[in-house]
Chains A and B, each alone.
Chain A
Amino acid sequence: AQSVTQPDIHITVSEGASLELRCNYSYGATPYLFWYVQSPGQGLQLLLKYFSGDTLVQGIKGFEAEFKRSQSSFNLRKPSVHWSDAAEYFCAVGARAAGNKLTFGGGTRVLVKP
């Protein structure tokens, strides 16, 4: 069975500083990997995804993530955080099988200090 771990429950970062959110997954083969962002009271918005090929993927809002097979990781990064990036971020792994069910990590809440 697939699983996702986001080790950091909360992260506080200063506006303009860099941000890295960690994601580790467990899956028997090459997975689909996603990062979603959830603003307060909202649904989830897709930031970026990895399916195959280039292991560094670019997403919306200036985010990028790197797939490292050897470390079973898919960490999310942003070079310079804006106050509007305050939100909860979810990493998800999808199985390459019927139904393609996504399994989500517990989420990391990002607070941005002015």
Chain B
Amino acid sequence: NAGVTQTPKFRVLKTGQSMTLLCAQDMNHEYMYWYRQDPGMGLRLIHYSVGEGTTAKGEVPDGYNVSRLKKQNFLLGLESAAPSQTSVYFCASRGGTPYYGYTFGSGTRLTVV
């Protein structure tokens, strides 16, 4: 009964480095989302996916790429990290109906120095 699992939980990057955040869900959910959380700004949508093999841009997609090669996994990539990408990243998923809301992971705290 894991739900949504995010790895890693913490990471420190140097400016210009790259990394991939992994989101895995075991609920057979179609929809998956990546949000970033910054103080006073709530959660802002980076990218999302409506099914395996699909991705779409959200509100703040610049500097990020995503892939959904398998239904259960949604990867968020930073090709060249910048200090402005210091944030807490949350992955979420939901099933075919929005009625049950989203299930969130516990987050990844990323610091870019």
Contact = CB atoms under 8 A, between A and B. Distances in A.
Among A44, A90, A100: residue with most chain B CB under 10 A: A44
Nearest to B107: A43
Interface in A88-113: 90, 94, 98-107
Interface string A70-102: 000000000000000000001000100011111
Contact of A104 (B4, B42, B56): B42
Given A43-B107, A49-B101, A94-B98, A100 B41 contact: no
A44 B56 contact: no
Contacts of B43: 44, 90, 102, 104
A79 B104 CA distance: 27
B57 to A, nearest CB: 11
Contacts, number: 57
26 contacts: A32-B98, A34-B101, A42-B107, A43-B90, A43-B105, A44-B43, A44-B90, A44-B104, A46-B101, A49-B99, A90-B42, A94-B98, A99-B48, A99-B50, A100-B31, A100-B98, A101-B45, A102-B43, A102-B45, A102-B102, A103-B45, A103-B59, A105-B42, A106-B41, A106-B42, A107-B40
Interface of A: 4, 6, 9, 32, 34, 36, 42-46, 49, 51, 90, 94, 98-107
